[in-house]
């Protein structure tokens, strides 16, 4: 694996990230769950397809805009620390989630903004619903900005190179991996939703969200240890 081709590594990184982050409880997964139970597999899958297309658009924008900021070691370290903090924040948010929705002023303002975007775009088809639902979720763009910066600045654990090389072919491979991973997840989730009417209680979804939060925290801890070791080596 030490000699793995950068294109293959980038595609694998994109695939794994897409599957993991697509599987996190959120508006699009809840939409697929509800729509799949009511209108069937095909409708739910096209919602997922629209979401996957918007995902790769945000992913592509993030890779294009972040490259110019990671030309030297200090910027790479800062990006890695930002990724660590982001994963830790989201992880604890999911782990400590409560049955009642958070009604803080910030969350309410974000929800109102997202509702306005959806209302102005008036999605009617299943594809448009998924596309607009992700486009209106500003957290998805923030997540891809942080994630793309982390992939461009973090070395793979089995290689001396970064997860995604700062080149067009590697970035394209990563985006392709993101699309493939997202499509496979939404295909699976649409099937589960269309066959699982009435089987997913609010308590079950909350437990899934808490497990996702724990996984994110463990990932953040692993990355934090790698950052600490990297900084220790630089000081020697």
Q: What is the DSSP string of 183-234?
A: HHHHHHHHHHHHH-TT---HHHHHHHHHHHHHHHHHHHHHHHHHHHHHHHHH
Q: 177-201: b or e for each residue (b if 16 or more CB lie within 10 Å)?
A: bbbbbbbbbbbebbebbbeeeeebe
With cut-offs at 50, 70 and 90, classify the pLDDT of residue 206. confident
Taking the model in full, what pTM does it have?
Answer: 0.75
Does 2 or 58 have the greater pLDDT score?
Answer: 58
pLDDT at 72: 54
With cut-offs at 50, 70 and 90, classify the pLDDT of residue 87. confident
Asked whether the predicted pLDDT for residue 182 surpasses 90, the reply is yes
């Amino acid at each position: 694996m030490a000699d793995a081709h950068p294109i293959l590594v980038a595609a694998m990184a994109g695939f794994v990230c897409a599957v993991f982050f697509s599987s996190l409880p959120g508006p699009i997964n809840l939409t697929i769950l509800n729509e799949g139970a009511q209108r069937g597999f095909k409708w739910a899958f096209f919602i997922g397809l629209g979401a996957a297309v918007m995902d790769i658009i945000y992913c592509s924008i993030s890779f294009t805009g972040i490259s110019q900021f990671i030309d030297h070691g200090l910027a790479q370290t800062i990006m890695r620390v930002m990724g660590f903090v982001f994963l830790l924040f989201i992880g604890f948010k999911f782990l400590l989630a409560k049955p009642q929705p958070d009604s803080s002023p910030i969350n309410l303002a974000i929800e109102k903004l997202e509702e306005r975007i959806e209302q102005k775009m008036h999605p009617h088809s299943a594809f448009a619903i998924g596309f607009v639902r992700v486009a209106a979720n500003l957290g998805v763009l923030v997540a891809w900005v942080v994630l793309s910066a982390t992939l461009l600045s973090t070395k793979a654990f089995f290689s001396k190179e970064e997860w995604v090389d700062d080149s067009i072919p590697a970035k394209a491979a990563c985006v392709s991996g993101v699309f493939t991973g997202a499509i496979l997840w939404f295909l699976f989730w649409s099937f589960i939703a269309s066959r699982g009417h009435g089987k997913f209680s609010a308590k079950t979804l909350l437990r899934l969200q808490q497990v996702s939060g724990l996984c994110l925290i463990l990932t953040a801890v692993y990355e934090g240890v790698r950052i600490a070791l990297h900084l220790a080596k630089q000081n020697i």
